[in-house]
Structure 1
């Protein structure tokens, strides 16, 4: 399976431009033979543009996700539509299961190549340190793991990387490819390199981190979208400029590594 991470240039207050860059990246990735394309965290409004969250919020069937669903079908690729700010009340009105009847969530949606929605993941761990994220957003409750292109695929988001128990819970559900849309900023470059590598090693699974590129008033994104294999080896990566990071990933590689080094079988309960 060919995976493409779309490290987009994300601009504050440029929703139309951000959308156009996302659609262009999907088209280019598909033309390059991608089977699955992934977008970053809150790529349409910009993670650090907190004042834009409310006016940029949509339901799960709003115009942004509807257009990306169409793009997946049009280009014949599975698509992790990064994450968007979800209006929970609007989604509830559309009959969707939501963690609260009102408020906002940082929500990632996975579509298959027919444009069918496979999974909805709402970010579980909201950034502390007096961040506006904790004040503005409602955390998710579900950890979906779905079958796609021979893999058991799961999604986590950015700050979730610091919580290994979440990744172990996904491994217990059979996840062997975890996609991590992010908006990871400088100066924590070493954390960005270390944490996903550790999550891959611990769980003997692929971990693919897709970050944004660009500058905001209070932060610059580190980029460096990367695919790690089940040994924690870097398969493909980028710098901090906009890029398409592509890699061949294989579920048989996971089975081989887990067979050669069955560390998960040696776990003890505490």
Structure 2
């Protein structure tokens, strides 16, 4: 049993939705339904998986379904955030950088794996473009350009940062976020079988070594063309690396309380971050 919250708390929901290759309308509808459901359950913030609209493994359709930041997918998500009074981490789309108008881009052309955090009024608070592009049995590194910016935003009194999937293997990125004040890192992903141990171990390690909350948001579903099945298991870890809430591999809504009081207490009682030698 976990102790009751002792400080500011944030009700977090992870929307592990089914993602089907190139079924844009159906995938976005599932995301919108998850936002509605999370709001009805009292969540302050809901996070969606990586490339929840097009499907990560649908590489042949990246260019065809790329959108500007101001395109239909993010526009519908931000409208849903405002309608339901809930912050949303739109776990990522394939962004057409050349067509984007309102957001600073890391390159003038190309495609990026882009996540956006909208607050409960629909206002943009954070943009994260995936830094580390996957090359192993994946065309992502060939098709997309990496992001450069590391940002944080405040949601319900909690300082939030974001990374994406493969980024979990690069702990220096998480140190940057911690140095920027992050207390909760959201990790939208499309993590497949069979690498369950990597998914769980890396996520837990990022939470432990940075004494922060880490929430991993995976999708559910199979991609026949790539012979890949998403393993689900969306999970919220506390700063000790303890699992607060998690799922199996089927679509689900994972709910957990982010308690800043416990984070502050852990950092005070076990001051590993203060003992860093740079």
Q: What TM-score comes out, normalization by structure 1 length?
A: 0.97
CA–CA distance in structure 1, aligned partners of residues 241 and 161 of structure 2: 17
**What whole-Å deviation, never above 9, does each CA across 1:83-121 have from its counterpart, x for those lacking one?**
000000001xx1431111111000000000000000100
Q: Which residue of 1 aligns with 2:122?
A: 115
What are the within-5 Å matches in structure 2 for residues 29-178 of structure 1?
29-91=38-100, 94-129=101-136, 131-178=138-185
Query: 1:59-101: CA deviations, max 9, x gaps?
Result: 111111000000000000000011000000001xx14311111
Match of 2:200 in 1: 193
Distance 1:215 1:138 in 2: 25
CA RMSD of aligned residues (A): 0.8
CA deviations over 1:142-169 (Å, ceiling 9, x no partner):
0001122111110000000000010011
**Offset, 1:56:** 1.1
Task: Determine the C-alpha separation between the residues in 1 that align with 2:155 and 2:260.
Answer: 11
Pairing 1:14–2:42 present: no
The separation in 1 between residues aligned to 2:39 and 2:266, in whole angstroms, is 29
Matching residue within 194, 203, 207 for 2:210: 203
Which one of the candidate residues 188, 191, 215 is aligned to 1:184?
191
Q: 1:8 to 1:130 in 2, by over 3 A?
A: closer
Q: How many residue pairs end up in the alignment?
A: 267
Between the aligned partners of 1:87 and 1:171, the Cα distance in structure 2 is 29
Tell me, what secondary structure is at the counterpart of 1:265? helix
Give the CA deviation at 1:130.
5.5
Q: Counterpart of 1:214 in 2: which secondary structure? A: strand
> What are the Cα deviations for residues 218-256 of structure 1, in whole angstroms up to 9, with x where unaligned?
200000000000000000000000000000111222111
Q: Name the TM-score, length of structure 2 as normaliser.
A: 0.95
Going from structure 1 to structure 2, the CA distance change for 1:72 and 1:95 (only over 3 Å counts) comes to closer
The runs of 4+ residues in structure 1 deviating greater than 3 Å are none
Deviations 1:26-51 (A, max 9, x none): 00110010100000000100000001
- 2:36 pairs with 1:27: yes
- Distance in structure 2 (CA, Å) of the matches to 1:115 and 1:65: 10
